[in-house]
Amino acid sequence: MSRDRPALRAARHAPGDGSMPRYEHYIAGCWTPPEQGEYLASTDPSTAEPWYEFARGREGDAHRAVRAAHDAFHAPAWRELSQARRGALLRRLATLVAEHAEYLAGIETCDNGKLLAEMRGQLTGLPEHLHYYAGLATQLGGETIPGPHPAVLNYTLREPLGVVVAITPWNSPLLLTVSKIGPALAAGNTVVVKPSEHTSASALELALLVEEAGFPPGVFNVVTGLGAEAGRAVVEDARVAKVSFTGGTSTGAGLARSCAGRFVRTTLELGGKSPHLVFPDADLDQVATGIVAGVFAAAGQSCVAGSRVLVARALHDELAHRVVERARAIRVGDPLEATTQLGPLATEQQRVRVEEYVALGIAEGARVLTGGGRASVPGLPGYFVEPTVFVGGDNAMRLCQEEIFGPVVAFLPFDSEETAVALANGSRYGLAAGVWTADLSRAHRVAARLDAGTVWINSYRSTSPMSPRSGFKDSGMGIEHSRHVMAEYTRLKSVWVETRAGHVDDPFILRT
C-alpha cells in the first residue's frame, strides 16, 4: 500500500536501485559509514514493510563515537563555552525542533506505529523541554560554605561528568532522547546517542538540527545498530562517564551491573505495571476516560501504562462495562490518519508477546470481556491488535505482575482502602499510579503510601519537564526531568582556600 511518509532529509539513497533511503552514523559532525559496511532495515509497523536502512554499528563504530565525544569534551570550543552560551545553543535547537515538529512526528509514527496525533503532541511540546533545560544551564552553580576559621574559604563547584551515553527505546524516541541530552548538554557534557534499532531515523534527523543550531562537532553523536552490538560496545567504552537508559528491566539490570564494576554512573527508567485505584466516590466517566487514555491511547506501549485497574467491588462491574464499551468503539487503523484512535504495535515480536500474554491470562483463569485477538485493517497488513479487557483474575497472576507493553488491561476488585494499597504495592515495579476519588484526604493519604515515583490524582499521564520522574523498586533509579536532574549529570567538587597565609595556626582544622 502506498502511504505518504515523510521524505527523509538526513538519509542518502542506497547504491543500486536507490529504492530505500540509507542512514550512516553521525560522528564528530560527519556522516560516517559503518566500519564493517553493514546496514539494517527499519520496518513500518503499519505495512510490515521496510522503509529505510541504517548503519549496523559494531565495536569500532561505538569506540569512534565515544572518542569523538571525549575529544569534544576536552576541546576549548565546548569546554570553555559559557553556561549562558550553552543555554543559547539549546534554545536555538528548540526553535529548529519547533520548525520541524510535524516532519519529525511523521517519521516517528512511521517508525513505531503510534498515532500521528500523539507524536505531533510530543514533538510540538518538545521545544518547551529544551527551553527549560536551557534555563537550567545558567542556574548551575555551587555554594559558599562557612569554614572552620575566618581565614578559610570553602566553596563548591558543579562540574560536567564527561561523555554521557543515552540509550533510548522505540516508544517515544525523541521525547526520551531530549530528556537525556537536554540536561547533559546544559551541564556541559558531550553525548553519544544509541537509539533503538526499531526507531533510529528521528535521532539521526535530530543530528541535522543539532548541527544547524551550532553545537561544536563531536558534542552530539549518534551510533546506530543492535543493542547487543553497538549498545553494549558504547556502554563498555572506558571513556564513558555516565549512561542514561530507558528500556526493559532485565536489560537495565545487566547494564547496571556492567557500569557498577567500573563506577560509571547510571540513570535507569525501566518497566512498570502501574495501577489505577478507583474508590467508591470516584466519577466513573472521568475514570473510564483516564483508563482508556492510560492504556489504549498509546496501544499500551508506555512504561507508565495503567494496566491494572483496582476498583471498589461495588463499582467493578459498572466500570468494566463502561471501559469495554469505549474499547469496542476505538477506531483501529492507519496511525497517519486523523480519525484513527489505535495504531499498530511497533514490531511483530511485540504483537506475538501481547498474544502470548492474552493466552496466558486465559489459561490462568481470567476472562476476556472484549478484544484478545488481532485487529484487521483493510490494506494494512501490520501489527494490529484489539484493545483487550480482562476480569476475573487475581493480583498474583503473571497477567497482573508482568509488563505486557500492549493494549491490555486487567480489572481487580477490592473491599477496603488497605487492600487497595496492598494490591497496588504488590508488584516488583513502582513507576506510576493513578488515584481516583472525590475525598481529598484519602487522595493524599493513599498517594503517600504508594510505592510509585509518580502518582496522579483524578488524572493520568500528565507530564512536564519541570516535574521529576523516577522509578521505585524494579522500575529504575535516578531522576529525569526537573531541576533535580542536573545533579545526575554533574559532579560536586569541594574547594578549600586559606585566604590569609599564616593565620590558620591550628594544625588540625584542615585535616580530614
All cell numbers assigned to 207: 543530528
Catalytic site residue from 24, 108, 211, 269: 269
Q: Which residues contact 187 (CB under 8 A, 6 or more apart)?
A: 137, 140, 158, 160, 161, 486, 489, 490
Residues 28 and 220 sit within 8 Å (Cβ to Cβ): no
CA angle 145, 151, 154 (to 5 degrees): 25
All cell numbers assigned to 500: 590569609
Closest by Cα among 409, 459, 444, 450 to 430: 450
**What is the rounded distance in angstroms from the CA atom of residue 129 to the CA atom of residue 466?**
8
Closest by Cα among 191, 7, 173, 165 to 89: 191
**What is the rounded distance in angstroms from the CA atom of residue 103 to the CA atom of residue 140?**
33
Q: Which residues pair with 252 in a beta bridge?
A: none
Q: Is 312 helix (H, G, I), strand (E, B) or coil?
A: strand
Closest by Cα among 3, 191, 179 to 107: 3
Does the active-site annotation cover 269? yes
Q: Is 246 helix (H, G, I), strand (E, B) or coil?
A: strand
**What is the rounded distance in angstroms from the CA atom of residue 252 to the CA atom of residue 21?**
32
- Per the document, the length of the chain is 512
Tell me how far the alpha carbon of residue 481 is from its chain's centroid: 11
**What is the rounded distance in angstroms from the CA atom of residue 220 to the CA atom of residue 86?**
13
Q: How far is CA 202 from CA 87, 108, 115, 397, in A?
A: 23, 6, 16, 38
The sign one gets for the Cα dihedral 140, 146, 151, 154 is negative
All cell numbers assigned to 347: 514490531
Does the active-site annotation cover 303? yes
Catalytic site residue from 303, 386, 480, 488: 303
Q: Hey, which residues are catalytic here?
A: 269, 303
